[in-house]
Amino acid sequence: MSATVDFSRNYIKQVVAIHQAMFDKLLFDEGAAVSLDLAELFRDAGRTYLKIAERINETCLSQQSLQD
């Protein structure tokens, strides 16, 4: 199970780093205008984080049911 947790943690770190770089470019850059690309990034990030949350929830619930 530890390898799965490490993989998940590394995957989440990669996702966050990619999204952070994209937000830096599209939102935080002084010359950046609010654009459709930013809207797409928010939509993609939202879907991605919801999927991650569902996987974490499923993992925690399955671990909890194994302990019961």
**What is the rounded (10 degree) CA torsion for 66, 61, 10, 50?**
160
Distance, CA of 68 to CA of 50 (rounded, Å): 27
pLDDT at 42 (0 to 100): 97
Domain carrying residue 6: 2-67
pLDDT at 68 (0 to 100): 64
Distance, CA of 56 to CA of 7 (rounded, Å): 12
pLDDT at 66 (0 to 100): 72
pLDDT at 1 (0 to 100): 52
pLDDT at 56 (0 to 100): 86
pLDDT in tens, the chain (68 residues): 566 667 788 999 999 999 999 999 998 888 888 899 999 999 999 999 999 999 888 888 887 777 76
Domains: count for the chain = 1
For 35, phi then psi, to 5°, come to: -140, 175
